Amino acid sequence: MIAVLKSNASDFEKSFEALLARGAMDISSVEGRVKELLQEIKTQGKEAVIAQVLRFDSWNPKSFLELKIAQKEMECAYNNLDSNLKHALELAYQRIYAFHTKQMPKTWLDFEENGNLLGQKVTPVDRAGLYIPGGKAAYPSSLLMNAIPALVAGVKEIVVCTPTPKNQPNTLLLAAMHLCGIKEAYKIGGASAIGTLAYGVSGKDGIQKVDVITGPGNIYVATAKKLVFGEVNIDMIAGPSEIGILHNGKGSVDYVAWDLLSQAEHDEMASSILITTNAEFANAVTKRVDELLKDLPRKEIAEKSINERGAIIIAKDLDEAVELMNEIAPEHLEVLVENPLEILPKIKHAGAIFIGENTPEPIGDYIAGPNHTLPTGGSAKFFSPLSTEHFMKKSSIIAFSKQGIMQLGKECGILAHTEGLEAHQNAVLARLNHN
């Protein structure tokens, strides 16, 4: 049964601290092993990758080339899709593409009165690596959410890595690759995939290293991404999925119960948290969650998640509910209250905000348009959703006129002198004296 906490209880603070620590991953417990795997790939290349695929994915590729997914295989999977499924996939593609087009950063130039030119140049990275999870489930939607912003950003080379246990690729994932125009994809998972993308493997039919790696994964993937950061850029270090629901106790119990379970069925480590001002509603949701669990196909996973990492908090009022949810900073936040737009300015931390009872979190997972690759474990306080900007970089543009250097050079020299950097000072003074 999901835990029910009261904000005015004497032991609430201790229980709430446990919720805040929900995203803590014991990276230290796997860091040594992940370092070994990465070092093997860095020094041994293809041989190490093949050996690791055999070890972790239960099949034995005869050569590195066998790890590559053929474009013809992607195309065949797409062409053989059920027509309704193909339509849904294409509609999701169109909506995700349209949303990310609107968030594109811009190159800009600004001329000052003295003739100085300042600005910003935005350019895509040359090569992006996308990690798409597999194993317990395959996620074609994650392929769309990672590939489309890269395409919109203008990345020319996109490389996909995904685990394929027993060498059985997911057909819908292959179809999604074709829809996104993926030309380079490999049957490599876990930390092995992150190492392969970050370092590359040399030789004929090898893999060139990428500039940025995006995509969610388990603790081994998260640890590997953390370790290769600096060698390449990464999007974020994401943990298990989670949902927070703000509710004033007026509305459908079923809606809330299903929304909590929609996250719980992802993973035993997923977190489902409801904060409501109505104790009667909280009890009704608790009962309904237990009823719905009985017939859920992924009952074992969802039940463990609900029992060990779920919670319903009864707050004294809506202001306290919002304050507590800001501390939690959930990956997904549903706002199911009267006049939700009125409290929107008070919400400071959330990966994605779903407003109103007609906006269940799964609509954002698949077809709404905004990205579903979101910060977890409270990191929404400082991370943002995956976007086109993760696949782009910015360069500052500075061009001073003769008048501009004369106007600002003296002060620049003073600051350089104060820091004890004589060559800096003289580089500026040389221009002033020459003019």
At residue 350, the 3 state secondary structure works out as coil
Catalytic residue (one of 242, 265, 303, 331): 331
Q: Which of 247, 332, 349, 390 is catalytic?
A: 332
Instruction: Please enumerate, by residue number, every residue annotated as part of a binding site.
Output: 241, 263, 266, 332, 365, 419, 424
CB neighbour list of residue 323: distance below 8 Å, 6 or more residues apart: none
Q: In the structure encoding, which two tokens stand for residue 342, read together?
A: 């009125």
Q: Which residues are annotated as a binding site for Zn(2+)?
A: 263, 266, 365, 424
Compute CA distances 167 → 43, 54, 173, whole Å. Answer: 25, 10, 14
Residue 254 three-state SS: helix
For helices 140-153 and 171-179, give the axis angle rounded to 10 degrees: 10
Which residues participate in the annotated binding site for substrate?
Answer: 241, 263, 266, 332, 365, 419, 424
Q: Helix (H) and strand (E) counts for the chain?
A: 17, 14
Please give the Cα distance from 428 to 418 (Å, whole number).
14
Q: What are the two backbone dihedrals, phi and then psi, of residue 207, each rounded to the nearest 5 degrees?
A: -125, 125
Q: Give which of 131, 107, 104, 129 is closest to 118, Cα–Cα.
A: 107
Question: Which H or E run contains 392?
Answer: strand 392-399
* Token output for 344: 């929107």
Q: Is 338 a known active-site residue?
A: no
The DSSP 8-state label assigned to residue 136 in this structure reads: S
Give yes or no for a contact between 331 and 352, defined as CB atoms under 8 angstroms apart: yes
Strand order of the β-sheet with 3-6 is: 3-6, 311-314, 271-276, 242-247, 332-336, 352-355
Asked if 178 contacts 74 with a C-beta cutoff of 8 angstroms, the reply is yes
Q: Provide the 10 A C-beta neighbour count for residue 83.
A: 7
Report the Cα 423 to chain-centroid distance in Å.
Answer: 44
Closest to 237 (Cα-Cα) out of 216, 209, 266, 268 = 216
What type of residue sits at position 384?
A: S
φ/ψ (deg, to 5) at 398: -135, 120
Considering Cα of 316, then 320, then 322, then 328, what sign does the dihedral take? negative
CA angle 218, 222, 156 (to 5 degrees): 105
Q: Report the alpha-carbon distance of residue 343 to residue 339 in Å, rounded.
A: 8
Active site residue 100: no
Max intra-chain CA distance, the chain: 84
Active site residues: 331-332
